[in-house]
Amino acid sequence: MSRSLASYAKLNLFLHVTGKRPDGYHDLLSLMTKIRLADIMTFTFQGNGVNVTCDHPLVPEDETNLAHRAAVLFLSSSRQHPKKHSLQGVTIDIQKQIPVGGGLGGGSSNAATVLSTLNARCRYPFSRNQLMEMGTCLGADVPFFLYGGPALATGAGETLSRVSPELFPRHVVVCDPGIAVSTARVFQNHDFCLTFSKEYTIQTSSNILSKGQDLDIRPYVHNDLEATTFRLYPEVRVARDEIAQLLQRPVFMSGSGGSLFALFTDEKKAALGYERLLAHWAGKKKRLLRTALLTR
């Protein structure tokens, strides 16, 4: 028996690096929301053990794959749970639509989808909070994909607070410049002193945490990691500048890069911008996506 599910990408609408922790990780303040871009994951519940296949050559299919690690972690944890189940193994096939190394959280989203799907298959032995705790062991972004709705992320990204579900503009054009960016390399080379702005961070967080109000996110969109990523991967900066010139609007990077995005309030204007970029990069190794924020 097989089941196919969408595993959605995310955007960091703003991302501030607020400090470095003793464990080597960085403290963050980030507003995250899902977008409609998604991988397709097909689960087949048969046999023993965990098997993962993927149609993208840069995605491993062994135990280093986050989806594989999530399945192993769930099965190991569930064996200690008093609520017994008959699930012994699962085969997971991943059809990649989310760019690899693009700062859109594809691997973390896949891991979260595995945890929630296996939990449902086993009739919910774990609460959402328990799944989020498991997710933290896999990666800082995994809890967000289990949380539901846009969230303000702090700590290493694993501590989440709910924000207004109405973040406008709602439409986005995303560009994958075709460069797989290493998150670890970006953080290892990040110069904290050059980017952190305490006053701006406090202003942003206080506005985001206003309860029950729609929020125009545009004045707050920002990414402290852009300078480091642009220095290490200059092709990402070139793509950012080209997009901004063609669209005549600000363009930002998600996460540690290299995916770039521009926000639109009007769907028709987003479509026109998408077509303009598509014509400009015809035949080039750039991937463009026109999608929407998932705010509920």
Output Rg (C-alpha) for the chain, integer angstroms: 19
The sign of the CA dihedral 247, 293, 131, 41 is negative
Enzyme catalytic residues: 10, 141
List of residues 6+ apart from 23 with CB closer than 8 A: none
Distance separating alpha carbons of residues 273 and 262, to the nearest angstrom: 9
Helix 66-78, helix 106-121: angle, nearest 10: 30
**Whose CA is closest to 166, among 220, 217, 221?**
217
Task: Give kind and range of the element (H or E) at residue 291.
Answer: strand 287-294
3-class DSSP assignment, residue 43: strand
Distance of alpha carbon 113 from alpha carbon 116, whole angstroms: 5
